[in-house]
Amino acid sequence: MLPNNQVVNTNADAEGRPAVAERAATAGAELALESFRTGIATETKSGKTDVVTQADRDAQTEVIDVIEAAYPGEPVVGEEDDARKTVPEEGPAWIVDPIDGTNNFVNGLRTWGTAVAAVIDGEPVGAAVVLPALGDSYTADREAAYLNGELIHVSDPTDPELATVSPLMWWAFDRRDEYAAATREIVTRFDDLRRLGSAQATLALVAAGSLDGGLTNLQAPPWDSVAGVHLVRQAGGEVTDRNGDRWRHDSTGIVVSNGELHDSLLAATRGIDDAT
């Protein structure tokens, strides 16, 4: 909560929040990178494949420290430890994933990153997804989206058979029939499939036009989704829930595309539920 004597005009200072999101994500990513490929020990959380490292915790602390220095007392929604897990409907907040793609991180794969989103009344106003092992920093403000400071835009294919699409999330072992259905829907409707192991990295690549779309019928945690969704929207893409309604942090399903392919991606997402 904000200190009693602090009043923040979030509309007036919203332009400063994207810069803080980038600064915080960069700080967390750089700290995590110091532990990358060092044989860091892992622990499990909810299941044997849900892993966490001390680097996750340290990076989250670093991110929060940067945010707190600029906007003291504002709520932080984060994946690790005792950070809150729900996005407040009113006022400013920050959504943090210190290492999105921890399994990639611990296995020495470069596709992982730190994601930070600034939201006001539940809607993002700034975001950063920093992939330090790849040397890439994706950011978005209220005007546009950028890769390493250069403007980016979603891809332009209109033919599904020319599109590359990614399953955005991991389906648990008790929902593998849905995972199988998702991959079948993609490979039978589109040119090819990519599964990167990091939802935020995948969303960033859709924003940059490196991928043409992504989908899941699952409800994604806000730390896995909000920053990347803002990137896609600011890069000219479309983001809905699985029913085609405008996506928000508590929606079920995420369907992202360049806009031209969105109906095909929605049909594929519906196919997951129809097949299970």
pLDDT attached to residue 180:
97
**Same domain assignment for residues 138 and 201:** no
**Same domain assignment for residues 14 and 130:** yes
Question: Are the C-beta atoms of residues 98 and 63 closer than 8 Å to each other?
Answer: yes
**Same domain assignment for residues 110 and 219:** no
State the CATH number of the domain containing residue 168: 3.40.190.80
* Residue 89, in any domain of the structure: yes
State the CATH number of the domain containing residue 86: 3.30.540.10
pLDDT attached to residue 42:
81
**Same domain assignment for residues 18 and 109:** yes
**Same domain assignment for residues 136 and 29:** yes
**Same domain assignment for residues 196 and 138:** no
Domain with 130 in it: 10-151
pLDDT attached to residue 2:
43
Q: What is the pLDDT along the chain (276 residues), one digit of tens a residue?
A: 344 344 444 454 666 999 999 999 999 999 999 999 998 888 876 666 667 899 999 999 999 999 999 999 999 998 777 778 999 999 999 999 999 999 999 999 999 999 999 999 999 999 999 999 999 999 999 999 999 999 999 999 999 999 999 999 999 999 999 999 999 999 999 999 999 999 999 999 999 999 999 999 999 999 999 999 999 999 999 999 999 999 999 999 999 999 999 999 999 999 998 887
**Same domain assignment for residues 134 and 51:** yes
pTM strictly above 0.75: yes
* Residue 217, in any domain of the structure: yes
Number of domains in the chain: 2
Secondary structure (H, E, C), 164-216? EEEECCCCCHHHHHHHHHHHHHHHHHCCEECCCCCHHHHHHHHHCCCCCEEEE
Question: Are the C-beta atoms of residues 116 and 63 closer than 8 Å to each other?
Answer: yes
**Same domain assignment for residues 231 and 270:** yes
